[in-house]
Amino acid sequence: MYLLIKDGEYRRETAEWKGIPAEGEEILALFPYEEAGNYAEKWSIDAEALEEARRFGYARYDSFENYDCVSLEMQDFEDVLLSRGSVILYLEKGKAFFATSKTKEVEEMLLEGLETLGEKVTLNRLVFQFFERQTREDETAFDNIEREILELEQALITSGKRDCVAEIISLRKRLMVLKKYYEQLLNVLDILGENENGIFDGRTLRFFKMLARRTERRFQNVLNLREAVTQVRESYEAEVDISLNTTMKIFTVVTTIFLPLTLIAGWYGMNFQMPEYGWEHGYAIVAVFSLVFIIAGVAFFRMKKWF
């Protein structure tokens, strides 16, 4: 697909278009990775730069002499552990070439950008619209994660949830992916703002700076959510420790109550002749003594609220 832009208007050409841009006309081309070699030869694009950017993955911005090369991993915010595919942008002044594994998705983003711009279409603004759409759906992901954290925290408090390790691990994995994504996207936006090759006009650079500030807030939000998950994990560990301490306290109390009986059993289990063996009511006395000691021990620990 080709888009030819001039004086706020654009026309669309198919991939088979063989023409050349008119004077003052800006050009945008979209093609799959498999056809990168053909487009590179036709438009004198550095094919090695495209291949190097494709191997990198995630977000990266490289400035060369007269052109910039950007690699982006399009994040799927419905399932942040997945990617919607990758895209490479080859940018020159008045030219933008998109190589991607998902031509349909990228084409939809570009067409949505054209609708947003209306009668003020420029190549710079369209490229910005594409970048801006990379984080447009992230509010859904943040809302879902925040809700999960609150529900997990509430479950720990109200229902005494005993096993939330899987939920905590899942949250940490998703937040780690988002952290890496926004971190690298911020690096791209910072370098883009330097505009070493003079590709973008001043107004578009201001838009990119606003996008960078918004992305910085998203990145900070990820860090805050990671801190919230850490607090939930610490609360869970505290609950586990309290439960374990309660169990150990019960075992200790029971052991303490029955320890004298163990002593009695050991004492009378020795192979010695003892005078008590001749008592008529010796067995009953030992039994009553043992029962009294158990009752006294239970009463004592209940009074101390240890049992």
pLDDT higher than 60, residue 83: yes
User: Residue 152: its pLDDT value, please?
Assistant: 82
β-pair type (95-100, 83-92): antiparallel
Strand spans (E) along 76-229: 83-92, 95-100
C-alpha 227/C-alpha 230 separation (Å) is 5
**φ, ψ dihedrals at 73, nearest 5°:** -105, 120
User: Residue 151: its pLDDT value, please?
Assistant: 82
pLDDT higher than 60, residue 288: yes
Across residues 285-294, what is the average pLDDT?
A: 80
pLDDT higher than 80, residue 286: no
Token pair listed for 229: 């998950």
Across residues 57-66, what is the average pLDDT?
A: 76
pLDDT band at 139 (very low <50, low <70, confident <90, very high): confident
Domain ranges of the chain: 2-139+172-239, 246-303
DSSP 33: G
pLDDT higher than 70, residue 239: no
Residues 6+ positions from 57 with CB-CB distance below 8 Å: 71, 73, 86
Residues 6+ positions from 194 with CB-CB distance below 8 Å: 63
User: Residue 1: its pLDDT value, please?
Assistant: 85
Across residues 179-184, what is the average pLDDT?
A: 88
CATH topology of domain 2-139+172-239: Beta Polymerase; domain 2 (3.30.460)
- Of 24-38, 145-159, 245-259, give the lowest mean pLDDT range: 245-259
User: Residue 270: its pLDDT value, please?
Assistant: 72
pLDDT higher than 80, residue 214: yes
Three-state secondary-structure class, residue 271: coil
Q: With pLDDT > 90 as the criterion, what percentage of the chain qualifies?
A: 2
pLDDT higher than 80, residue 167: yes
* Buried-state track 221-239, b at ≥16 Cβ within 10 A, e below 16: bbeebbebbeebbeebeeb
Instruction: Give the other-Cβ count within 10 Å of 41's Cβ.
Output: 10
Class of domain 246-303: mainly alpha
pLDDT in tens, 32-56: 888 877 787 787 777 777 777 677 6
pLDDT in tens, 244-272: 666 777 777 777 777 777 877 777 777 66
Helix axes 138-158, 165-194, angle to 10 degrees: 150
More confident residue, 245 or 287: 287
- Average pLDDT of the residues of the chain: 80
